[in-house]
Structure 1
Amino acid sequence: MPEVQVRKRLITVEEIFHEGGQPAEKPLKRGAIVAVIANPFAGRYVEDIAGFMDDLKPLGLAMARDLIAALGGDPAAIEGYGKGAIVGSAGELEHGALWHVPGGYAMREALGGAKAIVPSTKKVGGPGARLDVPVTHINASYVRSHFDAMEVGIPDSPRADEMAVILVMTTGPRIHARVGGLKASEIKGEDGLR
């Protein structure tokens, strides 16, 4: 498979102090890392594309580690995660699906074996397209306080023959989360759900 060609990267971190109520004792950090890469399948239909997932694995791991560093450097501080991809207009949605394994497993590895499935979304879009990347707790998908999303995009990306691959991590629940359900302190850790 072709070597992964990165045109640019973006790392962004936001700190949320409150959502109208009292400021949180510790602000929530939400961070995203985006790599804009050449889409080797742009402009044509290719039947066998799965091998490119292996080529993306080193990029996924490097991105996961860099995002953890941007969020303070402590993998134990990360409580939520998600991933996504925006495929340029000369590509197809299935090209974005190539990011599932390299992005998801990289975050799980970098976080020390997180158990929950990494939520994901993808779409085809042009330069400036934005993607709402879903987030859940890293060890139990049913922890409602950590259901979240982060809007991510880059003004000039992706170009028609590119893809923007994205990882998102958070350091805790939504600020002022109060809709009940399974609490993070109640996670059993048996199946990645509860």
Structure 2
Amino acid sequence: MPDLAIRKTIFSFEEIFHERGPVPDKSLRRASAMAVIKNPFAGRYEPDIQWFMDDLKPLGLSIARRLVEMLGGAEHVEGYGKGAIIGEGGELEHGALWHAPGGYAMRQLLDNSNAIVPSTKKVAGVGGRLDVPITHINASYVRSHFDAMEVGLSDAPRADEMALVLVMSTGARIHDRAGGLKAGDIVGKDGLR
């Protein structure tokens, strides 16, 4: 990783079998990856920050590959999302630097991932939590895949750090029945439908 000071990486995996209803034929698996890194802009205002996105690209690919492996391969991934928690010495815009490196890393590994990768970010103290949104990888309007995964650590981010997050899932919410566009009806031209 070019010039990245990585303190730790954290990977989480969950498998959901049912939500009070009948046990479905297939469980839902979700996985998250978080990299806690030093924020090179902490403690000051820096007008030129875009260069750091190039430094983040290898990190994005590395943790995205690990998520794909955790979920059993790219062919099983149907949902994704990304996020960033910026320590108190930083600013929200530092989290925006994760948009391209995190999003494109996942899209590079997942064939036909036409949908924009949903995102969230915030500035928080140590122990801050973040709900990372998840949508279908090919069509953002597939309502069954609207989901979120909470991430966070008890010791991060410190004031001079940022915690960069990727999330993937293998399908719709368990017992989804809120209607809308079905995954099987995706046209696949615009990333929306």
Letter aligned with residue 152 of structure 1: V
SS in 1 for 2:134: strand
Identity of aligned residues (%): 67
Q: Which residue of 1 aligns with 2:82?
A: 83
How many angstroms does 1:191 deviate by? 0.3
Structure 1 distance, partners of 2:149, 2:10, is 14
RMSD after superposition? 0.8
Structure 2 distance, partners of 1:151, 1:138, is 19
Q: Which residue of 2 aligns with 1:27?
A: 27
Structure 2 distance, partners of 1:179, 1:150, is 19
Deviation per CA, 1:43-78, whole angstroms, max 9, x where unpaired? 000000001001000000001001111112x10100
Structure 2 distance, partners of 1:37, 1:173, is 32
Q: Within 5 A, what are the aligned runs for 1:1-194?
A: 3-72=3-72, 74-194=73-193
How many angstroms does 1:113 deviate by? 4.2
Structure 2 distance, partners of 1:170, 1:159, is 28
Structure 1 distance, partners of 2:117, 2:166, is 10
SS in 1 for 2:32: strand
How many angstroms does 1:35 deviate by? 0.2
SS in 2 for 1:18: coil
The 3 A distance-change label for structure 1 pair 105 and 113 is farther
SS in 2 for 1:180: coil
Structure 2 distance, partners of 1:100, 1:126, is 21
- Deviating above 4 A after TM superposition, structure 1's stretches of 4 or more consecutive aligned residues are none
Structure 2 distance, partners of 1:154, 1:111, is 28
Structure 2 distance, partners of 1:179, 1:121, is 23
How many angstroms does 1:104 deviate by? 0.2
How many angstroms does 1:112 deviate by? 2.3
Letter aligned with residue 85 of structure 2: I
- TM-score between the two structures when normalised by the length of structure 1: 0.98
Structure 2 distance, partners of 1:8, 1:180, is 40
Structure 2 distance, partners of 1:170, 1:24, is 16
- TM-score between the two structures when normalised by the length of structure 2: 0.98
Long gaps (5+) in structure 1: none
Pairs aligned (count)? 192
